[in-house]
């Protein structure tokens, strides 16, 4: 049974007080908290198994290597990959997306080719492609959004042609909460021989994601947004694509042999995991993935959908003339992210006020400046949910916003 009140007990952070008030944490799109199971797995690794991986013959190194490989297997299972070696461990989503752009993009794109992006992309899935476009002469085309804040699929279709070589798209917008139809995008892309790179930073922690079903070519996500440690990210890639690319970031751990003339790369995923990896982090992330699998990603999605529905309902019923929400209201295309502004208040001022009430939200442009410019906004306040949030957290947020409204009257 999925019970957010019981789940919350696994998270030590919720024993703290913020200005003598209970913590209402609604900044999960920025980073999540970690349950004691994850913290314990990391502690145990350092206390009982710490060694470098794939390098030593001694007991500890073999044990650590085994645990590190097992972590890949658990993560592969979590996203439905065919094999553990399709899972490359990196440092975060940003780094994973840069690996694709640098290692695949630089070697496969040329003048006349086209890269399709959307205007709702996080900078991490936009700037690496802008860099590659400059280096290779490839052209970028941007897909716009509709009035209801969903992707304009008509515009997407019109921008895909035989020239399209890559479509880079977020599965869930970190501002609007819009869930994009990736299965449809991969179908369109594969018809013209393009690959699809999915930014899963906001989707993988919150909705069931199966890379085989979606038929994505690459998928990037971050451990720290899904209960795991910071400094660790995942790049999933189809085996044949990972095998074909030469690593742009190389060095120790990436080769089978090197002479002064030649390099023979290691097998995947090692050839793309240059240097000593975040071994304890990988073990922590595997524990986080196990925790989420035990809860069931369908249940995670259902819970967040209920909270979103509840929050949108209260905002409409009690604060419609005061709070403007930016994002779809249809729940089948909306994740647990609510970006808004409060009439007459700067977004940072709202976040600072909510902080005094013990409520953690994010304010600003959330690394999605082009989207904010498109909407004509200087910034937004963003509340985002996760497994340990409860309806009372939404009530606290709504009451605080009502208090703010009373100040204006």
- Which residues carry out catalysis? 367
Q: Which helix (H) or strand (E) holds 321?
A: none
For ligand PLP, the closer CB: 218 or 353: 218
Q: Name the minimum Å distance from CB 387 to ligand PLP.
A: 18
Distance of alpha carbon 70 from alpha carbon 111, whole angstroms: 42
361 in contact with ligand PLP (CB under 6 A): no
For ligand PLP, the closer CB: 93 or 186: 93
Among 28, 32, 74, 94, binds ligand PLP (CB under 6 A): 94
283 contacts 71 by C-beta, under 8 angstroms = yes
The yes or no reply on residue 199 touching ligand PLP (CB under 6 A) is yes
Of the residues 28, 32, 92, 186, which one makes contact with ligand PLP according to CB under 6 A: 92
Of 32, 124, 254, 363, which one interacts with ligand PLP (CB under 6 A)?
124
Q: Which of residues 29-48 bind ligand PLP (CB under 6 A)?
A: 29
Q: How far is the CB of 38 from ligand PLP (least distance, A)?
A: 16
Choosing from 74, 136, 180, 222, the residue that interacts with ligand PLP (CB under 6 A) is 222
Q: Which of 28, 202, 250, 308 touches ligand PLP by CB under 6 A?
A: 202
* Greatest Cα-to-Cα distance within the chain, rounded to the nearest angstrom: 76
State yes or no: residue 201 binds ligand PLP (CB under 6 A).
yes
- Least Å from the CB of residue 98 to ligand PLP: 9
Contact status: 122 vs ligand PLP (CB under 6 A)? yes
Comparing CB distances to ligand PLP, the nearer of 109 and 368 is: 368
Site string for ligand PLP, 169-198 (x = CB under 6 A): -x---x------------------------
Cβ-proximal residues to 294 (8 Å cutoff; 6+ apart), any chain: none
**What secondary structure, in 3-state letters, does 202-265 show?**
CCCCCCCCCHHHHCCCEEEEEHHHCCCCCCCEEEEECHHHHHHCCCCCCCCCCEEEECCCCEEE
Q: Which is nearer to ligand PLP, 33 or 122 (CB)?
A: 122
To which H or E segment does residue 177 belong? Answer: none
Residue 218, strand partner residues: 197, 237
Token duo for residue 268:
């995947």
Q: Which residue has the tokens 């600072």?
A: 352
Give 25-37 as a DSSP string.
Answer: E-BTTT-----HH
- HEC profile of 66-128: HHHHHHHHHHHHHHCCCCHHHEEEECCHHHHHHHHHHHHHHHHCCCCCEEEEECCCCHHHCHH
Peptide bond into 215 cis (omega under 30): no
Binds ligand PLP by CB under 6 A, chosen from 90, 93, 164, 180:
93
Residue closest to 10 by CA, chosen among 285, 222, 291, 274: 291
Q: Which is nearer to ligand PLP, 64 or 177 (CB)?
A: 177
Nearer to ligand PLP, 201 or 311 (CB): 201
The residues binding ligand PLP (CB under 6 A) are 29, 92-94, 122, 124-125, 170, 174, 199, 201-202, 222, 367
């Amino acid at each position: 049974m999925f019970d957010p009140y019981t789940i919350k007990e696994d998270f030590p952070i919720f024993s703290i007080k913020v200005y003598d008030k209970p913590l209402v944490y609604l900044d999960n799109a920025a980073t999540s908290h970690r349950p004691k199971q994850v913290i314990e797995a990391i502690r145990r690794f350092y206390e009982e198994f710490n060694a470098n991986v794939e390098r030593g013959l001694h007991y500890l190194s073999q044990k650590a290597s085994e645990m590190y490989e097992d972590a890949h297997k658990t993560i592969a299972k979590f996203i439905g990959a065919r094999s553990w070696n399709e899972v490359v461990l990196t440092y975060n989503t940003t780094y994973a997306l840069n690996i694709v752009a640098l290692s695949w993009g630089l070697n496969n794109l040329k003048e006349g080719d086209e890269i399709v992006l959307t205007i709702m992309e996080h900078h991490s899935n936009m700037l690496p492609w802008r860099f590659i476009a400059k280096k290779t002469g490839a052209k970028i085309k941007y897909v716009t959004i509709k009035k209801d804040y969903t992707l304009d699929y008509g515009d997407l279709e019109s921008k895909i042609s035989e020239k399209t070589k890559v479509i880079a798209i977020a599965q869930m917008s970190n501002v609007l909460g819009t869930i994009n139809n990736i299965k449809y995008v991969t179908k369109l892309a594969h018809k013209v021989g393009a690959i699809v790179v999915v930014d899963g930073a906001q989707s993988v922690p919150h909705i069931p994601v199966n890379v085989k079903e979606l038929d994505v070519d690459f998928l990037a996500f971050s451990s720290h947004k899904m209960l795991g440690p910071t400094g660790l990210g995942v790049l999933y890639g189809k085996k044949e694509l990972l095998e074909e690319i030469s690593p742009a970031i190389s060095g120790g751990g990436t080769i089978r042999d090197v002479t002064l003339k030649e390099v023979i790369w290691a097998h995947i995923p090692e050839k793309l995991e240059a240097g000593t990896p975040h071994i304890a982090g990988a073990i922590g992330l595997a524990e986080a993935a196990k925790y989420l699998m035990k809860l069931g990603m369908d249940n995670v999605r259902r819970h967040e959908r209920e909270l979103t529905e509840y929050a949108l309902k209260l905002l409409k019923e009690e604060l419609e003339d005061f709070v403007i929400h930016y994002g779809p209201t249809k729940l089948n295309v909306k994740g647990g992210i609510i970006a808004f502004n409060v009439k007459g208040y700067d977004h940072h001022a709202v976040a600072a006020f909510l902080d005094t009430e013990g409520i953690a939200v994010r304010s600003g442009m959330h690394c999605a400046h082009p989207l904010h410019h498109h909407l004509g906004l200087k910034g937004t306040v963003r509340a985002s949910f996760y497994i340990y949030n409860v309806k009372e957290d939404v009530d606290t947020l709504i009451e605080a916003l009502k208090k703010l409204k009373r100040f204006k009257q």
